Amino acid sequence: MREGRFGIVVSGGPAPGINSTVYSVVDRAERAGYQTIGFCDGFEGALSDPKKLVNLTAATIAPFRERGGSYLGTSRYNPLADKTRTSLLARLLCENQIDKLVVIGGDGSAYLSYQLSQEMSGIKVAHLPKTIDNDLPLPHHYPSFGFESAREMGVAITRTLLADARTTKRWFLVKCMGRQSGFLALAIGMAVGASVILIPEEYRSGEIPLSQIIERISNCILARRKQGKEYGVALFAEGLLNCLNAQSLPALNSRARDKLGRLRYSEIELEELLRDALQVHPPIKELDVQLSVKNIGYELRCCDPIGFDLEYTQFLGEGAVRFLLDGLSGFMVVRDYDRIGFVELAKLRDPTGKIQTQQVSLESDLYRVARSEIAPC
């Protein structure tokens, strides 16, 4: 084996295709004559227990390549939060002869990758775009890996809910993931023909009352009743929470937050809040509309990746190894149609210095088509 090793770490929430990505990196590194060290349970695991730095081989990862979840685990953790963590990480990298680091994650992990490339002397850093939210600004609006697999699973689940709604004459209020963008909700809703889709891009953050959301769903229920349809699916992204003003939901101020200071969306049952408010909304209460709720969240993050993501992640692994061996650092690997490319992370920073994210444009044809497919409610 050649001098210097690759390190690979998964950061943030799971997404379909992680194992395929890890396999691709390890396999390409092996072919080039390099060992790869995996960080079990992310940066948090490695910094809390050096034994969680393990040697990886393609043969070890191969049985998990087409499976969901993460062989290496993951964590939400900032190893540069203070000098103690930073020094510990630098020492671990040095002791394990890791001079090429691959970080798999979303926008927060992309920013961390940029910071690592600036602060870790002698370490080349590559970032691979992972998020089912699809909120990373990739070339040609290409999705981040995991999005298409999550959409496929979300469609399968929501399609059965729609069949149940039609059969039992009820409405389902369905929440899906999407902290900052509504791409996933829009993609699932368009595919199954949801009666109404609500995404955070349609509202100003922190400025709308809950009653405005209730009114919109209620209007849709009433409109479909006039068409003789006593059923439907209202689909919305979890990021809708950020759009509600504090007066509407004061309880949000006391809710738990993650290590990055963000609301733990999984612990806030927005779908139940909407159901309870709709049940006492006069027009809905008078009609005795049957309302059920469903949160499709964790089911999407660790489903098996579809062929699209299995192919896509091979591009990403190849690109990470190739560009790191070329001496590049501080970049995100991207797919440019049938070619592998990269984007400098420094060029993706917004005015605050963080990595910019993308949202659904209300002027886009994607949004226009989605709105035209939904009855005006």
For the question of residue 365 being annotated catalytic, the response is no
371 lies in a domain?
no
Mean pLDDT of the chain: 93
Stated as kind and residue range, the H or E segment containing 198 is strand 196-198
Residue 373 has pLDDT above 80, yes or no: no
Q: Which is more confidently placed, 324 or 256? A: 324
Q: Are 20 and 112 found together in one domain?
A: yes
The two structure tokens encoding residue 342: 């990269």
Q: Are 166 and 222 found together in one domain?
A: yes
pTM of the model: 0.92
Residue 266 has pLDDT above 70, yes or no: no
20 lies in a domain?
yes
Q: How far is CA 278 from the centre of its chain?
A: 29
Nearest Cα neighbor of 134 from 15, 10, 11 is 15
The sign of the CA dihedral 301, 307, 310, 314 is: negative
pLDDT in tens, 170-181: 999 999 999 889
DSSP designation for 106: S
Q: How confident is the model at residue 371 (pLDDT cuts 50, 70, 90)?
A: confident
Mean pLDDT over 276-302 rounds to 95
pLDDT in tens, 39-48: 999 999 999 9
**Least reliable range by pLDDT among 27-31, 172-176, 248-252, 288-292:** 248-252
The catalytic position among 27, 99, 107, 133 is 133
216 lies in a domain?
yes
Q: Are 193 and 294 found together in one domain?
A: yes
Q: Are 101 and 191 found together in one domain?
A: no
Nearest Cα neighbor of 23 from 83, 64, 74 is 64
Query: Where in the sequence is the domain holding 175, given as residue range(s)?
Result: 151-300
pLDDT for the residue 262: 58
Q: Are 200 and 292 found together in one domain?
A: yes
Q: Are 127 and 262 found together in one domain?
A: no
The CATH number of the domain holding residue 140 is 3.40.50.450
pLDDT for the residue 372: 79
Residue 256 has pLDDT above 80, yes or no: no
232 lies in a domain?
yes
| Whether the Cβ atoms of residue 126 and residue 320 lie closer than 8 Å to each other | yes
58 lies in a domain?
yes
Q: Are 343 and 292 found together in one domain?
A: no
Give how many domains the chain has, as a whole number: 2
pLDDT in tens, 63-97: 999 999 999 999 999 999 999 999 999 999 999 99
296 lies in a domain?
yes
Q: Are 181 and 66 found together in one domain?
A: no
Distance CA(278)–CA(216), nearest Å, equals 11
Q: Are 261 and 239 found together in one domain?
A: yes
Q: Are 161 and 296 found together in one domain?
A: yes
The CATH number of the domain holding residue 212 is 3.40.50.460
**267-275 contacts, C-beta under 8 A, 24 or more apart:** 268/241, 269/293, 269/295, 270/175, 270/236, 270/238, 270/240, 270/241, 271/173, 271/174, 271/175, 271/236, 271/295, 273/210, 273/249, 274/173, 274/210, 274/213, 274/214, 274/217, 274/234, 274/236, 275/173
pLDDT in tens, 282-294: 999 999 999 999 9
User: Which residues share a beta bridge with 270?
Assistant: none
365 lies in a domain?
no
Q: Are 176 and 227 found together in one domain?
A: yes
